Structure 1
């Protein structure tokens, strides 16, 4: 097995929590280097790695085979384009780009340069989503009428990261949090026929959207995606209603919390939810109405990186294609357009 030499473009929360731990413990990869312009935080934690002070120096290193573009949203296009032109395979953090036009250009360029490109939609590997998908695929709810997914938090203060609060492209909760929900909705139900949205800013002095209510229209059902920074009491974040029954599930994936506390992603019992967070299934089976708790599936972001290895070494499909990442941006752009026009009746 030939490990894939990998470099990160930053070592903020994304690099420190969601990428480096999985690359470092997976024998299929080597954490070779990290781009940090002034600090050495990555090298303090992983002494064997190389620290780069510029993207140009990182891309010039022939030892690097895979680059993770995990910089601020607005820089994804620029960093990804330079990485592709350097002939490196790449993973781009979600959201893929700010616009569909940028995404289309990167996809075409990657095909021209024959490099692998994937978007890091890791929430496909949350225990919540995997469990929800299993219930949906089982058909136990009958034909779906309505689905509602939330990504709420209580965080009324502005972010300390200034770039998250400046009204530029790819900024705001629809790009940051909504991208996860939109990707999951597409995975479950496909591309919608139409989009309606309401995006607002409710935090004091906020210049970017911190609230959204997006409705996706399908021929036989509706999907509602919501997020607010003013939800102190958590709501069920996954709701399915079918013609035979309902399934309700809290957001309980433990991976991010465990990663934040320094737990290693190959530890025993990784990604297993507490029993208290089992989903509730209320439906009809064989003519009998039943209400029962459903044990959640195991969450595991490592599945994404294992699939990346197979894509590079065995030419298998990437776990999240750039075209799939682009479809998320297409819906975000539609939601922004609808909100701007305010096309509703009064």
Structure 2
């Protein structure tokens, strides 16, 4: 079957680390082009690639079937709208858009133009997340009481990427890191009934949010999502407590680190965590109390791109629907409102 000619809208970290390695090593895709207005960075790694100096020039190339919008968050809507209007299939980097209104417009436009639209929520394919799904599906800790998920860093300095530190729509850790945790929570537990959010700024001279603590209210349990840039000693990435026991797991998926080290996703042992990072299960099984480390699932972001190929060539469902991406933005908007009004917001 004919590979899908694919182009990226930028070649910064997102393009270089999270997209190009998967597109270029998957035989179902042909890494055809990239939009770089002033540089030719992609050509250094992919000599056969075509570099476009304007978005319009790239979108006018009839050879391109799929475009990845991996530009700064605030530009997602503008770029995505132009891609869809050009009749190209499209993957939009998370967060999908900055508002629910923008997301709804893109979904309707994609349906009108009959193009495939998906959002790149790659953290669904992290090893720790896949392990948690397994723990819950096998009911290893009993009925859930509380779950807490962290995406922490120790990074008190402002980013050299000015667009990440300029207080515009879609900027801040709630959009960048929070969108990962929110999507994972929605995949595990569905839509919450309500939420309460505490958002803040702690880095000196920062003008954008770098801390969040969001509590999601479900009928019989609570889910807490947290992130801070001042966590030098890593906390467990996932803490789950049920009526039979607990499961504690580090955030230790190796894919981002390996991609930054220029390792290719088609290499042996891809996505396999060190055994030292196995999660701790302390629970009751067959009337006995057990405390043991359990094997970690294998992470693989390539599953996402395999799903995109099937959606375009075989008319199957996309791996992440645009509606899923929109619901993440709905949660973010509710969290912003909750923080501003200092109250619980019903969903």
Match of 2:96 in 1: 96
Do structure 1's residue 230 and structure 2's residue 230 form an aligned pair? yes
Report the TM-score when normalising by structure 2: 0.99
Secondary structure in structure 1 of the residue aligned to 2:323: helix
Write the distance in 2 (CA, Å) between the matches of 1:248 and 1:242: 12
> CA–CA distance in 2 between the matches of 1:46 and 1:181?
33
Q: Secondary structure at the match of 1:184?
A: helix
Which runs of structure 2 are paired with 1:111-150 in the superposition (5 Å)? 111-150=111-150
Q: CA deviation at 1:15?
A: 0.1
Tell me what 2:320 maps to.
Answer: 320
1:343 Cα deviation after fit:
2.9
* In structure 1, C-alpha distance between the alignment counterparts of 2:291 and 2:253, rounded to whole Å: 23
The SS at the match of 1:292 is: strand
Contiguous gaps of at least 5 residues in structure 2 = none
What residue ranges of structure 1 are gaps of 5+ in the alignment? none
What is the CA–CA distance in structure 1 between the aligned matches of 2:199 and 2:163, rounded to whole Å?
A: 19
Verify the 8 A CA contact 2:158 2:203 in the aligned structure 1: yes
Residue 7 of structure 2 is aligned to residue 7 of structure 1: yes
Cα distance in 2 for partners of 1:68, 1:343 equals 37
Q: Distance in 2 between matches of 1:44 and 1:202?
A: 38
Matched residue SS, 1:335 = helix
Match of 1:174 in 2: 174
Contact 2:215–2:223, Cα closer than 8 Å, also in 1? yes
Aligned to 2:291: 291
Trace 1:77-88 onto structure 2 (pairs within 5 A): 77-88=77-88
The 5 Å alignment of 1:229-308 reads: 229-308=229-308
Deviation of 1:341 after TM superposition, in Å, equals 1.1
| 1:329 CA drift (Å) | 0.2
Matched residue count: 344
What is the correspondence of 1:155-170 to structure 2 with a 5 Å cutoff?
155-170=155-170
RMSD: 0.6
Match of 2:332 in 1: 332
CA deviation after TM superposition for structure 1 residue 253, in Å: 0.4
Q: Within 2, Cα distance between the matches of 1:44 and 1:140?
A: 49
Structure 1 residue runs of 4 or more that deviate by more than 3 Å after TM superposition: none
The residue that corresponds to 1:152 in the other structure is 152
C-alpha separation in 2, matches of 1:101 and 1:249: 36
Please report how far the alpha carbon of residue 334 of structure 1 lies from its aligned counterpart in structure 2 after TM superposition.
Answer: 0.1
How many Å apart are 1:144 and its aligned residue?
0.2
| Counterpart Cα distance in 2 of 1:337 and 1:343 | 8
Mapped pair 1:24 → 2:28: no
* Contact 2:196 2:343 (8 Å CA) reproduced: no
In structure 1, what is the equivalent of residue 199 of structure 2?
199
Deviation digits for residues 98-155 of structure 1 (CA, Å, limit 9, x no counterpart) = 0000000000000000000000000000001000110011011110000000000000
